[in-house]
């Protein structure tokens, strides 16, 4: 009663109950309610990952009324699960937990956010060694030669084309697989990258001279392999048709 009276003074009114707002009592239900409310702003992939985060939090908070959750329960998640997660997964699950508590706090269902004191895990940025233009060309040439056997070389050449396309476009592998020749504009030296991660990931990028050469050579090898000159110009043919 004292806590409720204190909340009333801070909010300037009596805080609403879960029943008054038709809000789920259990924290796990609140997590899913929060996800349902925000699902329209999330891509399908992000919503799926949020669901996985909820499943990770469930064993530690499930069945507990929101008002009864204490910081020690959030710390138990850190000690029993969080320490075994990667830094990225830890921060994502923690961010979801804090977001739901903050959502509840703003609606007057809890007085404080019990997870607010938990710090994010530090992410150590990996050291990326980017090859020079000469090193990339040497790498692609080595892949193309393979071990010298005819059958092995045929597969290796397709793999070398893939490495060049990924390097000069910056595409994700899924995006490279979705490329069609209609996405390659040789006249304007532009590449339309189809969005595969989300609806907003579709983008237009300029092609470098090396990139244009790589696409022209890939198209030439495809047409030679298909035995039909100009077939790639039909547009709907995959850029990676030879090794999909």
CA distance 99 to 30: 11
Whether residue 38 contacts residue 30, with contact meaning beta carbons closer than 8 Å, is answered with no
Query: Which of 219, 198, 197, 199 lies closest to 207, judged by CA?
Result: 219
3-state secondary structure of 141: helix
Average pLDDT, the chain: 79
Question: Domain spans of the chain?
Answer: 2-106, 133-243
Helix (H) or strand (E) holding 47: helix 44-61
The pTM assigned to this predicted structure is 0.59
Give the DSSP letter of residue 193. Answer: E
3-state secondary structure of 65: strand
- More confident of the two residues 68 and 155: 68
What is the pLDDT, as a whole number, of residue 114? Answer: 94
Whether residue 7 contacts residue 67, with contact meaning beta carbons closer than 8 Å, is answered with no
3-state secondary structure of 194: coil
- More confident of the two residues 176 and 2: 176
CA distance 14 to 168: 61
Q: Which of 34-48, 190-204, 218-232 has the lowest mean pLDDT?
A: 218-232
Whether residue 202 contacts residue 192, with contact meaning beta carbons closer than 8 Å, is answered with yes
Give the DSSP letter of residue 89. Answer: H
Residues in the chain: 244
- Which residues lie across from 190 on neighbouring strands? 185, 206
CA distance 88 to 52: 14
Question: If pLDDT is split at 50, 70 and 90, which confidence band does 233 have?
Answer: low
Helix (H) or strand (E) holding 203: strand 203-206
What is the pLDDT, as a whole number, of residue 235? Answer: 54
Instruction: List the CATH code of the domain at 2-106.
Output: 1.10.150.130
First to last CA, the chain: 66
Could you read off the pLDDT of 79-136 as tens digits, one per residue?
999 999 999 999 999 999 999 999 989 888 889 999 999 999 998 888 888 888 889 8
Could you read off the pLDDT of 148-177 as tens digits, one per residue?
676 676 677 778 888 888 888 888 888 888
The percent of residues above 90 in pLDDT, for the chain, comes to 22
């Amino acid at each position: 009663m004292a806590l409720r009276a204190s909340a009333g003074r801070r909010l300037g009114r009596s805080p609403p109950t879960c029943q008054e707002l038709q809000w789920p009592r259990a924290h796990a239900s609140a997590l899913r309610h929060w996800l349902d409310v925000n699902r329209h702003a999330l891509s399908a992939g992000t919503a799926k990952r949020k669901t996985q985060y909820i499943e990770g939090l469930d064993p530690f908070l499930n069945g507990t009324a929101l008002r009864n959750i204490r910081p020690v329960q959030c710390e138990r998640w850190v000690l029993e699960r969080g320490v075994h997660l990667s830094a990225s997964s830890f921060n994502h699950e923690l961010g979801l937990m804090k977001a739901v508590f903050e959502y509840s706090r703003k609606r007057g269902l809890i007085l404080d956010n019990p997870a607010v004191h938990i710090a994010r895990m530090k992410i150590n940025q990996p050291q990326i060694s980017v090859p020079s233009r000469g090193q990339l060309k040497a790498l692609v040439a080595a892949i193309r030669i393979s071990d010298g056997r005819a059958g092995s070389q045929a597969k290796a050449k397709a793999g070398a084309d893939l490495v060049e396309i990924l390097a000069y476009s910056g595409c994700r592998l899924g995006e490279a697989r979705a490329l069609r020749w209609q996405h390659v504009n040789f006249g304007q030296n532009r590449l339309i990258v189809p969005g595969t991660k989300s609806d907003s990931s579709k983008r237009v990028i300029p092609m470098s001279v090396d990139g244009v050469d790589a696409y022209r050579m890939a198209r030439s090898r495809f047409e030679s392999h298909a035995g039909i000159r100009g077939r790639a110009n039909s547009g709907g043919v995959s850029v990676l048709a030879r090794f999909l």
